[in-house]
Amino acid sequence: VARLTGVSTATVTRALQGHPRVLPATRQRVEESASKLGYRPDRLARTLVTGVSQTIGLVIPSSGDAFWGEVVDGFEQQAVDAGFSLVLGLAHGDPERERRMLELLLEKRVDGIVVAAPAGTPRDLHGLVGTTAPLVLVTWDATATPEELDRAVRDPVHEVIASLAASGAGGAWFAHVTTDDIGGSAALVRHLIELGHERIALLAGPALRPAVLRLLGYRVALEEAGLAPGAILTSAETFEAGVEMARELLSARVPPTAIVAYNDVVAIGAIRGARDLGLHVPGDVSIVGFDDIEFASYVDPALTTLRWPKREMGRLAIELLLQGLDGRDEPMTEALAGELVVRSSTAPPPARPAT
Amino acid sequence: VARLTGVSTATVTRALQGHPRVLPATRQRVEESASKLGYRPDRLARTLVTGVSQTIGLVIPSSGDAFWGEVVDGFEQQAVDAGFSLVLGLAHGDPERERRMLELLLEKRVDGIVVAAPAGTPRDLHGLVGTTAPLVLVTWDATATPEELDRAVRDPVHEVIASLAASGAGGAWFAHVTTDDIGGSAALVRHLIELGHERIALLAGPALRPAVLRLLGYRVALEEAGLAPGAILTSAETFEAGVEMARELLSARVPPTAIVAYNDVVAIGAIRGARDLGLHVPGDVSIVGFDDIEFASYVDPALTTLRWPKREMGRLAIELLLQGLDGRDEPMTEALAGELVVRSSTAPPPARPAT
DNA sequence: CTGAAAGCGCTTACAG
DNA sequence: CTGAAAGCGCTTACAG
């Protein structure tokens, strides 16, 4: 390559890498011929000898998703700033597919891996990646068993929380960034209580860990205020599920005056469900979600929701990964706080109909 | 590595690659020791000698975007099916950043590159990638000059289209997948005409190539029906722009009865703008968009729109790239047709107020 | 069918 | 400051 221009390959390397001990003159010449030849160093060859690829493997559930899309912006930003590339895989919720992706990433010698909302269990992931590369998990959707859900509904809140804390996230093998679901959920419910609501229902979403935590936060806020839990429904986390569950909830003999939906998409569905019944939001019923995806402010009424710092989550995950690459190896979990965003889907409950 | 288990590295390679001439017995032994050692072949080393990395570079404008998010699903699907990985870069509309990403991808020896809605000009991209790797462009947002826009508004439609076709996409150097903007736009307008609309306005979006094409399609359908163009507004492609432009349009002395928005997000903004004015959609004014992003069906009223085959666009782009890798090198452009999706934001125009 | 050897394009001690 | 040499982990003719 550029060797045909005077010196040895070793000198070329040193000149281009900005090694201190090269004569400015020779560096000059090397640079000239390099650009003349349109020389592009082969980073793979470099990786082979240095052992670092400056590449991070990223596996997420899906790319069409409003929530993860924004988190990915954070991943990319931070990775690029640190000089890393991202190789992307979509798991589509399939543990098998996820496993293959991870295997492939490892064979491609990525320096580290971050997986968002893993389909597999932490134990599986750890078994796969082991100590080959630092691994950080962003959000962990562990399946909640019927018993766990049941406990979360019935047992004293503080006990359930204590036992969750004691059992850990199920893996002390890697860094973990999540959201403070308990705190966020409680903030949302407190907002409704301040507005005067007393019958607050919960569309709990799928039987996964975040749903359990949000359920716990809901109970915490209700207990604080001395209120009883309202109806609690579990289901898929889709727009359609929101529509149906809202209809069901609002057709009850004594319907709730407020609904906490599992996320914004479900909440938007719930608004539609309420409308289908001829109800007005927020006049007849207040509805809130979680996430603050872009469209939460575009719907009518604009959604009151709990915003997670999505880009920050992405950034932090990469930062923890880089720390892992620097040798830091105490596992840690960071639970990021959400922010209550009050818009137009919440209002005081309707005045009691005069009996 | 696994050499410590009997044979030579060459044999290991052959055994693991499924080379025909290895004794089943030795293959057996090799596989055993490989799995015992948890051996993972180093694909970088392999790439260094074979020259193929089974990796495709992908650069898109942003990942939080509802439209590109879905297209990426198509990219990934097809790439993984063909055994390729994707390395992802976000350009954020910055030509400089895009250039650096491409440079980096090339240094990482990707086999090919696809760039969606490039920030740089085709000429720049070609200059950068040259013949190093096959390049496919998905959608090309070339800037339209004021003169071009002006021509598209005033000159005979067929002339403008002919001259656009003659000038080509500006680059015959690569494969190119786009949308049939003229046809799609005409289909949308015909739908409105069939409903009985005669005053149809256009929120043309930013002064880019797709906007010009959609404007042309709009004129085509209007001419067919012998109708005159309505108000045409150019602006950013955001929700807020939609709100404002709809207000402006609908506050006119003789407001339009239908609005064709640049895309779904703008259309959703326009619905909001109409509501702000106390107007009912679609009772007082029909509104349509382009894209059919997920939320188009979640808003109220659900949006009538022109759906682009987003996943198919992604799939096709990768397919063309793979053909390029197989030596096929005639450049080509594929314009995918959209599909009219009629939902609830369109209806016949309001009855003429009795004078 | 299998091994020895060379080589992919870089980097890094080790000598000068 | 610079060059010769070895080596990163694989693959691929070339001999047996």
- The residues facing A234 across adjacent strands are A205
Give residue for tokens 């599986």: A124
Judge whether A66 is closer than 8 Å to chain B, CB to CB: yes
**d(C-alpha B346, C-alpha B283), whole Å:** 8
**d(C-alpha B217, C-alpha B181), whole Å:** 7
- The residues facing A333 across adjacent strands are A176
CB contact under 8 A, A85 and B87: yes
**d(C-alpha B108, C-alpha B24), whole Å:** 37
* Residues A294/A295/A298/A299 CA torsion (nearest 10 deg): -150
- Would you call the peptide bond into B282 cis, given omega within 30 degrees of 0 as the criterion? yes
**d(C-alpha B178, C-alpha B313), whole Å:** 8
pLDDT single digits (tens) A103-124: 999 999 999 999 999 998 888 8
Q: CA end-to-end span of chain B, whole Å? A: 91
Query: What is the CA A45 to C1' D15 distance in angstroms?
Result: 29
Amino acid at A231: A
Q: Would you write out chain B's pLDDT as a tens digit for each of its 355 residues?
A: 566 667 778 888 888 877 777 778 888 888 888 888 888 899 999 999 999 999 999 999 999 899 999 999 999 999 999 999 999 999 999 999 999 999 999 999 999 999 999 998 888 888 888 888 999 999 987 777 778 888 888 899 988 888 877 665 545 567 889 999 999 999 999 999 999 999 999 999 888 889 999 999 999 999 999 999 999 999 899 999 999 999 999 999 999 999 999 999 999 999 999 999 999 999 999 999 999 999 999 999 999 999 999 999 999 999 999 999 888 777 788 999 999 999 999 999 998 764 4
Cβ A26 to strand D below 7 Å: yes
Give the three-state DSSP class for B263: coil
Q: Which of A73, A68, A110 is nearest to B89 (CA)?
A: A73
A14, pLDDT greater than 90: no
Q: Which of A276, A72, A159, A182 is nearest to B58 (CA)?
A: A72
Using CB atoms and an 8 Å cut-off, which of residues 267-296 of chain A contact chain B? 268-269, 271-272, 275, 294-295
Confidence label for A4 from pLDDT (cuts 50, 70 and 90): low
Cβ B28 to strand D below 7 Å: no
pLDDT single digits (tens) B214-265: 999 999 999 999 999 999 999 899 999 999 999 999 999 999 999 999 999 9
Size of chain B in residues = 355
Of residues A344 and B328, the one with the higher pLDDT is: A344
Least CB-CB distance to A44: which of B70, B108, B294?
Answer: B108
Confidence label for A5 from pLDDT (cuts 50, 70 and 90): low
**d(C-alpha A76, C-alpha B91), whole Å:** 10
**d(C-alpha B41, C-alpha B13), whole Å:** 9
**What is the sign of the dihedral through the CA atoms of B173, B179, B185 and B187?**
positive
| A123: number of Cβ within 10 Å | 11
Mutate one of B35, B63, B132 to test the A interface: name it (highest A CB count within 10 A). B63
| CB A186 within 8 Å of CB A221 | yes
CA distance to partner chain A, nearest, from residue B257 (Å): 22
pLDDT single digits (tens) B75-91: 999 999 999 999 999 99
Structure pTM? 0.92
Task: Report the pLDDT value the prediction gives residue A69, as an integer from 0 to 100.
Answer: 95
CB contact under 8 A, A89 and B76: yes
Using C1' positions and the CA of A23, the closest nucleotide is D1
Cβ A42 to strand C below 7 Å: yes
Confidence label for A24 from pLDDT (cuts 50, 70 and 90): confident
Token pair listed for A257 = 């005056």
Give the three-state DSSP class for B61: coil
